[in-house]
Chains A and B, each alone.
Chain A
């Protein structure tokens, strides 16, 4: 019986207008997104080649020396979930006096990027396909009730649990099928391109990303099912579904960040940079005085360095607290949990950002203390988070949140359906 209902559900979906329009939309979007982001990745690679070139550093005596900037290559996984990759792939250079200067973002010349969002696969799944999932599920129960077929089905020897499980499986399978086909086509296109070099770990990460996408979309499908059960007319269900979708996808993640800022006071970056600049100027004034002795210069350098370090450390501690609180608040939205999970897996998220900055600071310290008599200084080496690190406590937590949402919404729909008045 279960199989027959699943088959019936899949067939009726495949023949519906809804299926055609969602298939067309998702296929076009996914392919366009992968193509556009692939081209963007090629530009990022070109930019990386330029950043990698050694840069000249002026010395106090006549002449100049060369140093290699600290920069990491863009990840091919950024094609699917770009996240903070443009920020991560800026070059870091050692400033005189122990600071770290950062090159401008690759896209900062075109200001229009500041107005709009990156159309990567993560965005397509998080925003558009989640909406499609709700559109697929909003009339599963109330639609049949309105058409009168639910009453007929239940008047036969058909158990309600079997009906709802079959509806979920059949509906979700027919929804997820076009998604997989489109992603497969996009991935084949990307794989055949010569610029891309993905290793086994990258493929595993991509697989995990797709798996988490399925779990995420299932959350919205189950939610649509729940709303369909809680309402009696498809039009009401649709209105509720769209508003709940807007709240979960847009409202909570954005509001969460704003709320976190109210809880943790953090100075603006401009204030931080101004203070740093002032420390540098005071240092310059102190050490460049002709009457300053070598000993006094050393002491001044040490004092200003520690003042600068303290300033940066204080800011970073506050910022990390802000990011943690913001992450915890926004996690009550599946969209935010999915964003953190996906960017964590792909190595383009907050976790990676913190890890890279820590590594850069450590390397800058190491480079500052390097004795040139020992030979050439080793170059900066950085390994993006492994599969295991990405699925650390934070990643696993986000994954569990998504599963929990699924269980919660499906159980809600299941329990409510057992008591549903089909008349």
Chain B
């Protein structure tokens, strides 16, 4: 009997106008979206390669130790799921004078939009009259008059309805994925296909959730007109209101210092340490003047011992004098060591202070974000967004992951540069911050997406909440239908 009910529900739905509209609509949007986003992906990939080449070329022509901190070559490639989902950008992009503000006015259209807006609406349209419609037409009364348990009817409606609803989704997704697979610019490996499978499973969880929501409301309503209005009311709250309001609420409950305040504080600290460095450099200078007198004046006359910058001194001349006079060499070496020591000490203190200041802001910002994230969990939309974005490497987690990869690369790159610098100094005693460094064999930055195992730990709790929503709505629909007056 269950099979008969499922088949009847399934047939009933696919012969309905809403099924045809839904199918055509989903198919057109998904395919159009995938084609356009794949084209975008190709352009972004070309842009990324261009940036990498630009940096390569630049490093081979202009690499100097003093300006190396501005040349670290870590460019982010477009995410591999870019043909389906548009990723969020890091904070660097918001610091450009010429940023593109259009996405702020019109959030982008991608797979996430198709599932969260179109498929959830379609799910509600499929289920809002599953019970009320049959009651109004009188068929429910006839069915119940036979010896069919209500549990079977409800279960049959759920399975048949959800199966018919998933046809437009699966067909559209398959069409989109087929295009991606045939596109020579997009190369997905095994883990990407695995992620796609999980993405599909998460989407099905989300879509059935809204189907169950419609079924639940239908089980508590007498008329289809009332049911659809209540469903849309809940849909608006769950999809359009709660997730968008939560970040704003979190900023009210959990105040954090602004970035600018922190930047200002950082600047003040830097100035204080600069002043300290100047003060202590003066002390070193005075000490050397009194200890070495005329000999030190000779070094000063060559441009060394300037309080702000001693890199402008004539190193070749110093080397000449040092070679001729061992006492001069001893003094010059001692002077350099004294300056290096005091600068290292002060820079270590400054680094520590900086780390503490920005670490404090990061901790507070993370707490605020976490509060907003948890608050938004009462909406299935937010949970689904977290699952999909983290799974496909297009969300907050991927931004953090990229930042970590970048920091690790910076560390490796600096080690490499220091080694190169040491070699250069050994070979050429006149080597300075402005001298060219040959970085022909520098380690290239290759960003690898995080492994699926790493992502799953973060994704599963939110996926669990989606499943819980499904269970709650089904239990409520069941309770409502058990007591439903079919007359």
Interface positions of A (Cβ within 8 A of B)? 17-18, 21-22, 25, 29, 32, 36-37, 39-40, 43, 46-47, 50-51, 53, 55-56, 60-62, 64, 83-84, 87, 91-92, 99-119, 123, 127-128, 131, 135, 139, 234-236, 238-240, 242-243, 246, 250-251, 253-259, 261-262, 265, 267-275, 277-278, 280-282, 284-285, 288-290, 312, 315-316, 319, 322-323, 326, 330, 336, 339, 343, 349-350, 353, 357, 360
**B245 and A21 within 8 A (CB):** no
Chain B CB within 10 A, most for which of A51, A92, A111, A272: A111
Q: Tell me which of A236, A250, A278 contacts B58 (CB under 8 A).
A: A278
Q: CA separation between A275 and B51, bound complex, in Å? A: 9
B43 to chain A, nearest CB (A): 8
Q: Tell me which of B95, B113, B307, B372 contacts A112 (CB under 8 A).
A: B372
A310 to chain B, nearest CB (A): 13
**B243 and A116 within 8 A (CB):** yes
B170 sits at the interface (CB 8 A): no
B101 sits at the interface (CB 8 A): yes
**A254 and B106 within 8 A (CB):** yes
Contacts A251-B29, A353-B101: A113 and B54 contacting too (C-beta < 8 A)? Answer: no
CB under 8 Å from chain A, chain B span 64-89: 64, 67, 70-71, 75-76, 88-89
Contacts A253-B106, A284-B67: A242 and B125 contacting too (C-beta < 8 A)? Answer: yes
Beta-carbon nearest neighbor of B101 in chain A: A84
CB under 8 Å from chain A, chain B span 265-308: 267-268, 271, 278, 307-308
B203 sits at the interface (CB 8 A): no
**B29 and A32 within 8 A (CB):** no
B397 to chain A, nearest CB (A): 10
**A250 and B236 within 8 A (CB):** no
Q: CA separation between A268 and B55, bound complex, in Å? A: 15
B34 to chain A, nearest CB (A): 12
**B396 and A106 within 8 A (CB):** no
Q: Tell me which of B55, B228, B271, B365 contacts A64 (CB under 8 A).
A: B271
Q: CA separation between A353 and B37, bound complex, in Å? A: 27
Give the interface SS of chain A, mostly helix, strand, loop or mixed. Answer: helix
Beta-carbon nearest neighbor of B71 in chain A: A281
CB under 8 Å from chain A, chain B span 84-137: 88-89, 91-109, 113, 117-118, 121, 125, 129
Q: CA separation between A349 and B102, bound complex, in Å? A: 10
Beta-carbon nearest neighbor of A47 in chain B: B258
Beta-carbon nearest neighbor of A114 in chain B: B88
**B54 and A274 within 8 A (CB):** yes
Q: CA separation between A328 and B308, bound complex, in Å? A: 55
Q: CA separation between A112 and B368, bound complex, in Å? A: 9
Q: Tell me which of A29, A139, A250, A350 contacts B241 (CB under 8 A).
A: A29
**B376 and A112 within 8 A (CB):** yes
B208 sits at the interface (CB 8 A): no
A30 to chain B, nearest CB (A): 11
Chain B window 232-268, contacts with chain A (Cβ cutoff 8 Å), 1 for yes, 0 for no: 1100100011011111111110001011110110011
Contacts of A116 in B (CB 8 A): 243-244, 246-247, 376, 382
**A235 and B71 within 8 A (CB):** no
B95 to chain A, nearest CB (A): 6
Q: CA separation between A21 and B223, bound complex, in Å? A: 15
Q: CA separation between A17 and B233, bound complex, in Å? A: 12
Q: From B17-25, B190-198, B451-459, give the one contacting chain A.
A: B17-25
**A267 and B47 within 8 A (CB):** yes
**B96 and A106 within 8 A (CB):** no
Beta-carbon nearest neighbor of B312 in chain A: A290
B423 sits at the interface (CB 8 A): no
Q: CA separation between A268 and B92, bound complex, in Å? A: 12
Q: Using A17-B229, A50-B261, A50-B264 as known contacts, list a sample of 7 further A-B pairs with CB atoms less than 8 Å apart, ordered by residue number in A.
A: A18-B225, A60-B308, A101-B97, A103-B263, A107-B247, A110-B372, A326-B102
Contacts of A22 in B (CB 8 A): 229
Q: CA separation between A87 and B94, bound complex, in Å? A: 8
**A39 and B248 within 8 A (CB):** yes
**A350 and B105 within 8 A (CB):** yes
Contacts A117-B107, A117-B244, A274-B54: A56 and B267 contacting too (C-beta < 8 A)? Answer: yes
Contacts A62-B278, A114-B89: A101 and B95 contacting too (C-beta < 8 A)? Answer: yes
Contacts A235-B224, A239-B21, A240-B21: A319 and B91 contacting too (C-beta < 8 A)? Answer: no
Contacts A239-B18, A272-B96, A281-B67: A109 and B365 contacting too (C-beta < 8 A)? Answer: yes
**A36 and B248 within 8 A (CB):** yes
Give the interface SS of chain B, mostly helix, strand, loop or mixed. Answer: helix
Q: CA separation between A254 and B261, bound complex, in Å? A: 36
**A257 and B102 within 8 A (CB):** yes
B60 sits at the interface (CB 8 A): no
Q: CA separation between A128 and B259, bound complex, in Å? A: 34
Beta-carbon nearest neighbor of B96 in chain A: A269
B373 sits at the interface (CB 8 A): yes
**B260 and A103 within 8 A (CB):** yes
Beta-carbon nearest neighbor of B308 in chain A: A62
Residue pairs across A and B with Cβ atoms less than 8 A apart, 28 shown, are: A17-B229, A39-B248, A43-B251, A53-B264, A62-B278, A62-B307, A99-B97, A104-B91, A109-B258, A109-B365, A111-B369, A111-B399, A112-B250, A114-B396, A115-B88, A115-B243, A115-B389, A117-B244, A253-B106, A254-B106, A256-B106, A259-B36, A262-B36, A268-B44, A269-B93, A270-B92, A281-B67, A284-B67
Contacts of A273 in B (CB 8 A): 92, 96
A288 to chain B, nearest CB (A): 7
Beta-carbon nearest neighbor of B19 in chain A: A239
Q: CA separation between A139 and B54, bound complex, in Å? A: 61
**B106 and A104 within 8 A (CB):** no
Q: CA separation between A314 and B214, bound complex, in Å? A: 52
B32 sits at the interface (CB 8 A): yes
Contacts A62-B308, A92-B97, A315-B98: A131 and B248 contacting too (C-beta < 8 A)? Answer: no
Contacts of A323 in B (CB 8 A): 102
Q: CA separation between A50 and B88, bound complex, in Å? A: 28
B329 sits at the interface (CB 8 A): no
Beta-carbon nearest neighbor of B370 in chain A: A112
**B109 and A246 within 8 A (CB):** no
B133 to chain A, nearest CB (A): 8
B39 sits at the interface (CB 8 A): yes
**B118 and A246 within 8 A (CB):** yes
Beta-carbon nearest neighbor of B94 in chain A: A105
